[in-house]
Amino acid sequence: MTQDGTHDLFRRLFDSIVKPLLNGEEDDFGRLYRFVELNDDEAAKVLFQGTFGCRGGRELLETIFFSMARDEKDGLSLLATVIAGETTASFGDRFRSECRTGEKPTRVALLDVLPAFAIGGWARKVLTAGLLDREQEIREAASRALTALYGPDCEYDPEDPPAEREVMVHELFGVAKR
């Protein structure tokens, strides 16, 4: 396909999938989910990147991101890599809130993509909270994120007793013990 043909295809996809969402004509992400599910990562990435550059695109992608996490949809990690470089404070606040109060599958999905984001500020708080969580499944997801970010030498074990986990998190991040 020529570059013009690729551009035309992108424009048609954008016009039929993204534009109605940006214009408020649709509030259902089903068509976008289906596109991501049926196409390769590169096609979805191009669509996400094109959306990100539009007026209202970042906000739409942030909304889609949390919707994908809640609905356990394909493409969450890909979308995370697209938006990770330019997240807003409100995005970080929402990420923290969803990781604190969301359903367990949503929390796990968010912790699984956490390594895509810079580990300062809100992301570090999310990680430390996940490592200290009461739910073992959440701690395991946080442990995977920790390993992805810092390597396997962290010596954190999600099955350790709470006091040992607190000591380890304090050693890793200087987080004050509760």
Q: pLDDT tens digit string along 78-89? A: 999 999 988 888
Residue 114: enclosing H or E segment and its boundaries? none
pLDDT of 41 higher than 70: yes
Output the pLDDT for position 87.
Answer: 82
Is the same domain home to 76 and 97? no
Is the same domain home to 105 and 93? yes
**Taking the alpha carbons of 77, 28, 95, 71 in that order, is the dihedral positive or negative?**
negative
Threshold 0.95, pTM exceeds:
no
Q: Which two tokens stand for residue 147?
A: 């390993």
More confident residue, 27 or 106: 106
Least confident of 14-23, 51-60, 117-126, 135-144: 117-126
Confidence of residue 73 (pLDDT cuts 50, 70, 90): very high
Residue 175: enclosing H or E segment and its boundaries? none
Last residue of a domain, one of 55, 85, 115: 85
Q: How many other β-carbons are positioned within 10 Å of the β-carbon of residue 150?
A: 14
Is the same domain home to 96 and 152? yes
* Rounded (5°) CA angle 102-103-108: 90
Is the same domain home to 76 and 116? no
Is the same domain home to 103 and 173? yes
What is the domain extent for residue 139?
A: 87-178
Is the same domain home to 128 and 100? yes
Output the pLDDT for position 5.
Answer: 63
The one-character DSSP state at 17 is: I
Domains of the chain: total: 2
Residue 160: enclosing H or E segment and its boundaries? none
Give 2-5's long-range contacts (Cβ < 8 A, gap of 24+): none
Output the pLDDT for position 155.
Answer: 84
pLDDT of 8 higher than 60: yes
* Mean pLDDT, the chain, integer: 90
